[in-house]
Structure formats: structure tokens, C-alpha cells
Amino acid sequence: MKTTDNGRDARSQAARRLRTLTIGTAVLGVVATGGLSALAAATNDGSDTSTTAVTSTGTTTTTPTTTTTTAVAPTVTAAGGTGVASTGGS
């Protein structure tokens, strides 16, 4: 009589399947990244092909203006406590 633990076999099979899927996903990601990189390199020669044309007709007169902005800092008051800052965690 053969006594096998079916739970152990199922768990082992699931672990193998997970490992295979993980490796496959990693390989597919590397291949896709390389493929997209090659496609980008093949289609972009790196030169700037944009052109900007500025045309002007007529005469424009500008008058200089001066604007002064004054910023007021907020008033800071000390609160009671130990002065220890915490970002969370344990």
C-alpha cells in the first residue's frame, strides 16, 4: 500500500507552478524592455527636428513697469511637548 500525503504533493506542485510563472514573467519583462528599447533606438536618431518660426509685423512699444511684492512670514509659536518628531512605524 502506497501512502502519499496529497496535501504535500499539491503544495509542492503549486510551489513549482509559482516558480515557473515567476521566472517566465521576469524573462518576459526583460525581453519586452529590450524590444521596446531597440524599437526606440531604431526610430529615433536623436536629432531635434522641431523648428520654431517667429514672425513679427508692425511696431510694438513696451512701457517698463515695476511691481513690488512683499511676503509676510507666518508667526510660529512653540507648542508644549518633548520636541520629538515621529514618522510612524514601530
Compute the radius of gyration of the chain from its Cα atoms. Answer: 34
Longest CA–CA separation in the chain, Å: 104
pLDDT at 1: 45
Which residue type, as a one-letter code, is found at position 61?
Answer: T
First vs last Cα of the chain: how many Å apart? Answer: 53
Q: CA-to-CA distance for 88 and 90, rounded, in angstroms?
A: 7
Q: Tens of pLDDT along the chain (90 residues)?
A: 455 677 889 999 999 999 999 999 999 999 999 999 999 999 988 887 766 666 656 666 666 667 777 777 777 666 666 666 666 665
Residue 39 C-alpha cell reads as 524599437
Which residue type, as a one-letter code, is found at position 90?
Answer: S
